[in-house]
Structure 1
Amino acid sequence: MATKHSRSAARLMMAPAVILLLGWMLVPLIMTLMFSFKKYLPLRGGDLGWVGFENYVRFVSSSAFWPSVGATLTIVGGVLLITIFFGVLLAILLNQPMWGQGVVRILVIAPFFVMPTVSALVWKNMFMDPVNGLFAHLWRFFGAEPISWLSQASLPSIVMIVSWQWLPFATLILLTAIQSLDGEQLEAAEMDGAPPLKRFGYITLPHLSRAITIVLLIQTIFLLAIFAEIFVTTGGAFGTRTLTYLIFQRVLESQNVGLGSAGGVYAIILANIVAIFLMRIVGKNLDA
């Protein structure tokens, strides 16, 4: 049992790392809050003084604000649905004994290690190009006219690209959960005459509930900040401008740091609302 002296020593040894972590988190946050109350134009006069909540009002009253929030939530929701559904299917498939199982698992997980910019460029030029892309050739093979995916089906295209990158992560987490399932339960249910769908619905799926909630939480946190895929493919056009991309435009394209900082605060608020909602779901499943 840890003594009072050992606990004090542990706190003392952890203090530098905790202080560094707090500084790494709090300094950018404090600077963002400070700039959000200023009119700061780096190339057009610099710091022009405090403006109160003017930046917040301008940002939220912009005609692009609510469409960007809608695009963000649409992409997050679409990617979560696809990655969880196909992640469960792939996890069940990869858990079955097969020849070359290790190689197959590596190939399935490999897309997660591809940089977002690279994966977006591959999808844009090799798959979705309306002239020479793979989808265009498939459309012509079946006698259909190829479409310009990134302009005519922009949001579904972004969802497809991001899902391809995040599907291996969901598969890996869910596969680990399936491998921890007691095989005797499935064998007993099979001996009792339970069909495969009922075994999945009453045994496998409840066992995966915790893993699914963890995937939901982690992916949502990262997907709310999606940027590279949109920057490389559509540049925020055709209804794909997310909240993160709108902040980028306000800061770098409009050179208005104060307005962009106010947008960053809104993004933090949105992320915390979603995180709190998901943490309640995770907490209920972990306590069950």
Structure 2
Amino acid sequence: MATQHSRSAARMMMAPAVVLLLGWMLVPLIMTLWFSFRRYLPLRGGDLGSAGFDNFVRFVTSSAFWPSVQTTLIMVGGVLVITIVLGVLLSLLLDQPMWGQGVVRILVIAPFFVMPTVSALVWKNMFMDPTNGLLAHLWQFFGAEPVAWLSSVPLTSIIMIVSWQWLPFATLILLTAVQSLDGEQLEASEMDGASPLARFFYIILPHLSRAITIVVLIQTIFLLSIFAEIFVTTGGAFGTRTLTYLIYQRVLESQNVGLGSAGGVYAIILANIVAIFLMRIVGKNLDK
């Protein structure tokens, strides 16, 4: 049992890391809050004084705000659906005995370690290019006209790119859950005459519910800040401007730090609302 002296020593050793972590999180947050109430225009005189809540009103009443929120939610929802559905199927497939199973698992997980900017450039130039892309040659092989993905279906294209990046993460978490499934339960249901679909919906899927909620929670937190893929592919055009990209445009392109900081506060509020909602779902599933 730990003594009072050992607990105090442990707190002392952890204190520098805790202080550093708090500073790492709180300093940018405090600066964002400070600038959101200021008229800070770097190219037009710097800090021009207090703006009150004017930045918040201007940001939320701009014509681009609600479309960017809608685009963000559609993008997050699309990626979650694709990664969870394909993640479940891949995890079940990878759980089956096969030749070179270890190599296959490494290849499936590999895209998660590719930088978002690199993967977006690869998809843009090697796969989705309407002239020399692999998808264009595939379309021509079947006698169809190539698709200009990033201008014809830009939102779908970015969802495909981001899903390719996050599918390995979902597969890895779900594969761990599949491997923890009691094989005797599946054998018993098979002996009782249950069909593969019945075993999936009544045994496997309920067992994966906790892992699915964890995947949804973690991915949503990161997906709300999608930026690099949009910057590299469409530059926010063709209806692909998310809330994060709108903030970038206000801060760097318009050089209005105060307005962009107000948008950052809205992004923090949105992320916390979604996180609290998902945490409630996760908590209910974990209590079962």
Q: Which residue of 1 aligns with 2:184?
A: 184
Q: Which residue of 2 aligns with 1:240?
A: 240
Cα distance in 1 for partners of 2:147, 2:196 equals 40
Cα distance in 2 for partners of 1:2, 1:139 equals 67
Q: Helix, strand or coil for the counterpart of 2:225?
A: coil
Q: Helix, strand or coil for the counterpart of 1:48?
A: strand
Alignment of 1:148 onto 2:178: no
| Letter matched to residue 172 of structure 1 | L
Q: Helix, strand or coil for the counterpart of 1:47?
A: strand
Q: Helix, strand or coil for the counterpart of 2:43?
A: coil
Alignment of 1:71 onto 2:68: no
Give the Å deviation of 1:39. 0.5
Q: Which residue of 1 aligns with 2:24?
A: 24
Give the Å deviation of 1:143. 1.8
Q: Which residue of 2 aligns with 1:2?
A: 2
Give the Å deviation of 1:3. 2.8
Question: In terms of mean alpha carbon deviation, does 243-252 or 191-200 score higher?
Answer: 191-200
Question: In terms of mean alpha carbon deviation, does 134-143 or 148-157 score higher?
Answer: 134-143
The structure 1 segments of at least 4 consecutive aligned residues displaced by more than 6 Å after TM superposition are none
Q: Which residue of 2 aligns with 1:263?
A: 263
Give the Å deviation of 1:16. 1.3
Q: Which residue of 2 aligns with 1:81?
A: 81
| Letter matched to residue 284 of structure 1 | K
Give the Å deviation of 1:217. 0.5
Q: Which residue of 1 aligns with 2:98?
A: 98
Give the Å deviation of 1:201. 1.1
Cα distance in 2 for partners of 1:15, 1:202 equals 48
Q: Which residue of 1 aligns with 2:212?
A: 212
Q: Helix, strand or coil for the counterpart of 2:98?
A: coil
Q: Which residue of 2 aligns with 1:157?
A: 157
Which residues in structure 2 correspond to 1:104-143 (within 5 Å)?
A: 104-143=104-143
Cα distance in 2 for partners of 1:242, 1:85 equals 24
| Letter matched to residue 66 of structure 1 | W
Cα distance in 2 for partners of 1:211, 1:280 equals 15
Q: Which residue of 1 aligns with 2:202?
A: 202
Give the Å deviation of 1:104. 0.4
| Letter matched to residue 138 of structure 1 | L
Alignment of 1:52 onto 2:60: no
Cα distance in 2 for partners of 1:9, 1:194 equals 58
Question: In terms of mean alpha carbon deviation, does 97-106 or 180-189 score higher?
Answer: 180-189
Deviations 1:66-117 (A, max 9, x none): 0000010000000000000000000000000000000100110111111100
Question: In terms of mean alpha carbon deviation, does 134-143 or 217-226 score higher?
Answer: 134-143
Cα distance in 2 for partners of 1:18, 1:30 equals 18
Cα distance in 2 for partners of 1:210, 1:68 equals 31
Q: Helix, strand or coil for the counterpart of 1:43?
A: helix
Q: Helix, strand or coil for the counterpart of 2:48?
A: strand
| Letter matched to residue 204 of structure 1 | I
| Letter matched to residue 79 of structure 2 | V
Cα distance in 1 for partners of 2:283, 2:242 equals 29
- Unaligned regions of 5+ residues in structure 1, if any? none
Cα distance in 1 for partners of 2:13, 2:112 equals 35
Deviations 1:218-256 (A, max 9, x none): 000000000000000000000000000000000000011
Cα distance in 1 for partners of 2:247, 2:236 equals 11
Give the Å deviation of 1:11. 1.8
Q: CA RMSD in A?
A: 0.8
Q: Which residue of 2 aligns with 1:40?
A: 40
Give the Å deviation of 1:144. 1.7
Cα distance in 1 for partners of 2:262, 2:131 equals 41
- Unaligned regions of 5+ residues in structure 2, if any? none
Cα distance in 2 for partners of 1:81, 1:2 equals 46
Cα distance in 2 for partners of 1:253, 1:59 equals 15
Cα distance in 2 for partners of 1:143, 1:171 equals 34
Deviations 1:33-75 (A, max 9, x none): 0000001011110110111001001100110000000010000
Cα distance in 1 for partners of 2:25, 2:244 equals 18
Deviations 1:269-288 (A, max 9, x none): 00000000100000000111
Cα distance in 2 for partners of 1:17, 1:105 equals 35
